Structures are given as C-alpha cells and as structure tokens.
Copies of this chain bind each other. A is one copy, B any other.
Amino acid sequence: MNDFTFLSPTRLIVGRDAELQAGTWVRRYGGHKVLVHHDSGYCESSGLVDRIVRNLQEAGLETVVLGGVVPNPHLSLVYEGIELCRREKVDFLLAIGGGSVIDSTKAIAMGLVFDGDVWDLFASNETGEAKAVETRPCMPVGVVLTMAATGSEASNSCVITKADEQLKRFCDNDLHRPVFAIENPVLTMSLPPFQTACGVIDIMSHSMERYFSCEPTGNELTDRLCEAVFHTCMDCGRKLMANPNDYDARASIMVASTISHNGLTGMGRKNNGDWSSHFIEHELSGEYNVTHGAGLAVITPAWMKYVYRENMPIFLKWATRVMGVSYDWDNPALTIEEGIRRLEDYFRFLGIPTTLHEMPDVGVVPEEIMWKMARRVRITNEDGTVGGLKRLGTEDIVNIFRLAQ
C-alpha cells in the first residue's frame, strides 16, 4: 500500500424527497443568498428547480437563478455566474443537476475567491499544469443530484470547456469539494435507459481506473471496496434495465456514484490509479460528440486487452472474483480474456455497443483520425505518456483505437 491522504468531507443526505431539506442545509452551512445553478433539461421542465427555489425561500433565503448549463459546461457561463454572484452578493452556490452543472458551479466557486482569470486555474492537456493556483477555501457549494454518473458531487474534479477554442481542461482541487450532496433516488427514475446505462458504466469506470493500477497486490481493502462498487453496479444495473423504478437499485447506484469517485476506492494506489481509458475517451467524445459512458464501454475493454499482461494478478483477481470466471490453470490469460468478454456482454446487455463501428455517432474510424485523437490525449507522465499500469505513447493509443474498431 502506498502512502496516501484521504479526505471526503461532503455530507450525504439520501432519501425520498431529500431535496426538500435544501433550505435547512444551506442555512446550516451559513448561506443567506443562494445562486441556484442548473441546466435547461429535466430539472427545469419537471418543476424541480421551482420546487427547490420555493423551499429555499421558505427557509428565509434569497435566491438568484442561473440556468443554461450544457454538457461539457462552458467557460463563458462560468464567467457569467461569477459576475452575477459578485453583483448580487451571493454567499452560497447550489447546483441542481448532474456532473456538468456541478462542475460549472465549482468553477464559479473558485472564480469568486480568485483575483485573476479562473481559466488560469485549469491545467492544460499538454503540460498537465495550470498557470495559477488558488489556496483559499471556495465559496461553499451544495448539490441536489439528479443523475448518478460522474461522482462530481463529492469529488475534487472539475472539467470545463472553452468552447471557442475547443479546449477541455481540468482542475482537481480539494477546496471545491461540495459541503453537501442531496440525493433523492426518485429523481433519477425518469432518466432514459441509455443515460442510466452510461451512468452505470461511468461509475464502474471510476473504480476500474483505480483498481487496475500498477500495484499487483498490497491494496486488499481498496481492491475489495472497488469490487463492492463493480458488483453493485452490475447487479443493480441489471435490475434497472428490467424496472427503472426500482427504488433500492436506484439508491445503491446513486450512492455508488458518489463513493466511486470521492477517492475511497483509490486509497493506497500510486497516483490514485491509471486513468488512461478516461483520457483516451475524452478525445473520442471531443471528436464525435459521444456520451462519456458510451465511449468508455468501447475504450475500456480495448485498453484491457492491450495492457492486461502488464499486471496479470490484478486482472486475474478481477476476472475470478468479479466476473465469476473459473481460473484456467493451464492458461491464466484465457481467464482474463473471458472476464473481458463478460464485461463486454454486460455493456451490450445495457444496450451500449462495445466497438467503434457499432456506435451510431462514430462508425469506422479512419487511421488519420485515430492518430489525431491519440496525439491530443492528456499527458500524465513526465516522459510524455499517459497511464500508470502501462505508460502509453501515441502509437499505443492508436493500437487501442484499432482494437476498439
């Protein structure tokens, strides 16, 4: 086990009608005037935003509403939010939505305490470093979660896109972790099966990136915690395909989303995991505008096939314990390949293709596009590669795209 620190201060408030506790919790965390930040989809049309605004006002709080967050949230709206909050003297930020809304809110929270351009706090793909660092606590952020996927409700991650330059950048920082996350599983019941499935895959992926790290052994507890997330996602995901209104399955998936990306399943792992599938997928999403979870369903199995020989013990543990494969004593590699095959089967059961050419928005990817995407992948190592289990150069990434074809 590698040395680590773990901090997850976000208070989870989970249950039916939990969003009606928003006013109470904002007050307990010292808020008086609240920015309510949301997207323009279900949150607005279903009346959820109005219901929460009313709840905040009944709790004696003033509110300012800013909607319009889009997937891959835009820097321009972040600027607008910072400007609005300064003008209105807001002292608490409440995100209503999924990862995009939460990330947009976190960026506003950082911008409000930072004297320069908030974009300078976001790290570039090329160098992995940001121009500036902010060490003061952010304005407090609360969340009413409406989607189980990104885990942004309790994570230190924030991803913002500068739309005019097609730049997607990251700011990982403990200071913007939300103070509370309100999770009402009922709010996720109306998601279409495709979005539910992509969420389940994203949640699994956050722990797979950590589980398949470079240590062959020595993290028994966190390996088991990852496996708890995998089993839960697979069992409850199956239940949700049969019955989208299964409350207990929705609840388990929702809380799994939170603990799969708050750092718990990464404790003791070098660099908190591998993360190359995520970064490769981000370029696929950027090129073809595919949903992150759907992209992961294609990239992750291809990555596994390409790298598993670098750390057979961890892949064997996973194939036998999680995927239920019998250990093949004559040919252990076959055990792993069968595990990967079953994972692909599961993704297809969820209705998500596992090859590029089957993806509706992608199809057969020309070699030159593969090279273009591979060259853009975020670099995480000093030697210009990405990933921890196997350090991947540009050609490796192209090989993974070829395997995913």
Contact = CB atoms under 8 A, between A and B. Distances in A.
Interface of A: 1-9, 11-16, 18, 185, 217-222, 224-225, 227-229, 231-232, 235-236, 247-249, 251-252, 255-256, 259, 264, 267-268
A224 B231 contact: yes
Contacts of A231: 220, 224
Given A225-B228, A228-B228, A218 B15 contact: no
A8 B264 CA distance: 12
A7 B11 contact: yes
A1 B18 CA distance: 13
Contact of A221 (B18, B224, B255): B255
A194 to B, nearest CB: 23
Contact of A14 (B3, B15, B185, B251): B3
Nearest to A263: B12
Given A220-B232, A224-B231, A14 B248 contact: no
Contacts of A252: 1, 219-221
A390 B270 CA distance: 44
B1 A251 contact: yes
Contacts of A264: 259, 264
A15 B232 CA distance: 30
A147 to B, nearest CB: 17
Contacts of A224: 227-229, 231-232
B236 A255 contact: no
Contact of A220 (B5, B16, B222, B248): B248
A217 B248 contact: yes
Nearest to A174: B11
A12 B6 contact: yes
Contacts of A219: 248, 252
Contacts of A7: 9, 11-12
A14 B267 contact: yes
B5 A8 contact: no
Nearest to A226: B228
Nearest to A265: B228
A186 to B, nearest CB: 12
A88 B82 CA distance: 45
Contacts of A14: 1, 3-6, 267-268
19 contacts: A1-B251, A3-B15, A3-B18, A4-B12, A5-B11, A5-B13, A6-B12, A12-B267, A218-B251, A219-B248, A220-B232, A220-B236, A220-B249, A221-B228, A225-B228, A228-B228, A251-B268, A255-B268, A264-B264
Given A7-B12, A219-B248, A221-B252, 5 more contacts: A4-B12, A5-B12, A6-B12, A222-B255, A264-B264
Contacts of A11: 5-7
Nearest to A267: B255
Nearest to A18: B3
Contacts of A8: 8
Given A14-B4, A15-B3, A220 B235 contact: yes
